[in-house]
Structures are given as C-alpha cells and as structure tokens.
A and B are shown apart, each in its own frame.
Chain A
Amino acid sequence: MDTSPPDLVVLASRVRYEEKRIMAALDRRGSRFTHLDSRSLSVTAATDRYAGRVVLNREVGHYRAWYAAEALEAAGARVVNTAAATHLSGDKWLTSAALLRHGLPTPRTALAMTPEAGLKALAEVGYPAVIKPLVGSWGRLVTRVTDEAMAGAVLEHVAALPSPQSHIVYVQELVPKADRDIRVAVVGGRALGATWRRGEDWRTNVARGAVSEPCHLGPELVRLAVAAAAAVGADIAGVDLIEDGDGRLTVLEVNDRVEFRGFESAHGDIDVAGAIADLLITKAEA
C-alpha cells in the first residue's frame, strides 16, 4: 500500500463551484490529492517540507494567495500559478506593464503617486476614464469618470481611504464598448474557449450580475489571450479583452485564479476543471 503523501495539493479557503469541480476532476482521474485550507497554513523558512509537491493555488484573497505561494515555493513546492504570476496578475499596474513589455495591445493607462497627481494622469489619458484600485476585483471601487469635476470628487474620496497603497491611483482610458467584454480561459498555454460577458452595469464582472454567452474563438483572440497569460507567467488564466470601436482587440486584465462557473454554463461542453486537473497531473509526473 502506498503510504506516501499525495503529491497534489489544492490550496483554498473556500470551496466554491470551481474548487469542487477541480477536485471532482482529480477524483475521476484517480489522482490522490489533499485539500489544504489556506487559513490554516503556516510555512517555516529554510525547510523543504513541500519539496516535489504541486500546489494548485485557489485562495480567493490576493495577498494571502501571493504570500502562500511565495512561502510554499521557498519550501520546495511548485505552485500553479507561480508566486510571480500571482504577484503580477493581481496588481493592475504590474499587469499593464507586463502586457506592454510583451508588445500586447492594452488601453492607455497611467499611474499617479498621489490622488492630486491623479488629475494630471487623467488629463493625459483622456475622458471618459476609469479609476481602479491597484489590487482588488469583482469590480469593486472601480469608478468611471467623465470629466475633471467628477474626477476631482472621486479622487477626494480616494485621498480619504486609510491604506497608503490606495493613494496610488491607477487610471485607464474607457474603451468605448457595447456593454460587454470577452473572457478567454487559458490552461497550459492553450485557449479553451471564449465567452462574451454582458453586464447591466458597465462593469462586466460575473460577480456583479454579468451574463456569459459563448463567443467565437478566432485566431487573433487565441494569439492575444495565450500571449497575455504568458506575459504574466500564468499557466492558468482568465484573460479579459475588449473590442475597441474599430473592432480591434485589446487586453484588459489577466486573472490568475480564474472563476469559470459562468464560462462552463455558457459552453456546457468545455471542461475547464478537467483541463486544470490534467495540467496538475502532468506537472506532478514531470
């Protein structure tokens, strides 16, 4: 009887639809794994306790996910996605910089070191624009501004926020769009499929009530999504893109702990969880 610990670890503090699907896919493949609650994790430095383990990082909080990955890698684990990828994709500015460095199209973006400097950044990016928190998601605190008076009011609120990091202001031009963006699921360098995401709100996060519908996965969409995932070093990614007024595709962001419930319900026949399970098993056997 094999008494060695399973090589695969699923790290998650919440087991949602996605985590259940991934664990079921691992079960179906006869793969032994453990679910590790990230809230109970501590890692002692200078040990190799996780040597040879492949860890799927599904922690929902960005900072906990990033530091858990850093600590597990230091203890010898191979974390999917890597700590570096989680760091880059969890921070909007680092993502924008990585996309530009790799020559990928992305909206005009600026970073201002104070809310006051934010007005200058907005003038350069042009109105209408979006002010976003550097870290955070599900569309929270994302504010559309259409003119300088409105921007001034928003930035006053930003200046009153308690954390020093929230005073760094990320602004981006608002790409004119027909109330929808495109999500491409990328696993192991392969684009699995694409969905349109339409929101009632102009922010098209599924968590804010957006509805997913299948989108044709053309060659340009495949090229950009795969390249955007690679630009941040993510093996598993949900790449958000948008079509500008002239029908050109541009990359908005890369999500490294991708949610795919809407995606799977839109497609029905694309098994994202299965692809993730296969990727983990391949890595564990490598």
Chain B
Amino acid sequence: MQNVISGAECPECMAEIYVGDDALVSEIIECTDCRSDLEITSVRPPVLSTAPEVEEDWGE
C-alpha cells in the first residue's frame, strides 16, 4: 500500500488506474485497460487527462 496513493479514472475508458506515489505532474502513463496515453495533471489527488498528441485527421 505504501507505493499507491489512490485510484484515478481513465478519461477515455473510465478504468480505475492506481497512480504511484512516485508519480509526477505532466508524466505520461498508459492506461492498462485501453492503452491510451494519459497525462497526470495532478498527483494529490491523482487526476488524469488524455495526452495531447492528437493528429489533425482524428475524431469522428
């Protein structure tokens, strides 16, 4: 339990992701469920956002 702060929600797939206490703001991690690149925008409390690497032709 020492190396886990608490769960954050993946903004892409809503999976619960545990952010370790060595995490840094702006660190890029990969969601274990959907493999999206996520940016840690806050550590305490852990908050994740989608990493800004969208290509121009992306989207619906």
Contact = CB atoms under 8 A, between A and B. Distances in A.
A255 B59 CA distance: 9
Nearest to A140: B56
Interface residues of A, number: 26
A136 B36 CA distance: 20
Interface string B11-44: 0111000000000000000000111100000000
Interface stretch (A2-10, A14-22, A99-107, A149-157): A14-22
A61 B12 contact: no
Contacts of A60: 58-59
A15 B13 contact: yes
Contacts of B57: 61-63, 90, 135-137
Q: For this complex, into which size category does the number of interface residues on chain B fall?
A: 10 to 19
B54 to A, nearest CB: 8
A258 B36 contact: no
Q: Is the interface of A mostly helix, strand, loop or mixed?
A: loop
Contacts of A136: 56-59
B29 to A, nearest CB: 15
A14 B60 contact: no
A61 B60 CA distance: 9
Contacts of B12: 14-17
Given A60-B58, A136-B56, A257-B60, 9 more contacts: A14-B35, A14-B36, A15-B12, A16-B13, A61-B55, A135-B56, A136-B57, A138-B54, A138-B60
13 contacts: A14-B12, A15-B13, A16-B34, A20-B33, A61-B57, A133-B56, A135-B57, A137-B57, A138-B58, A140-B59, A141-B56, A205-B59, A207-B59
Interface of B: 12-14, 33-36, 54-60
Interface of A: 14-17, 19-20, 60-63, 90, 133, 135-138, 140-141, 205, 207, 238, 255-259
4 tightest Cβ-Cβ pairs between the two chains A and B: A137-B59, A138-B59, A62-B57, A255-B60
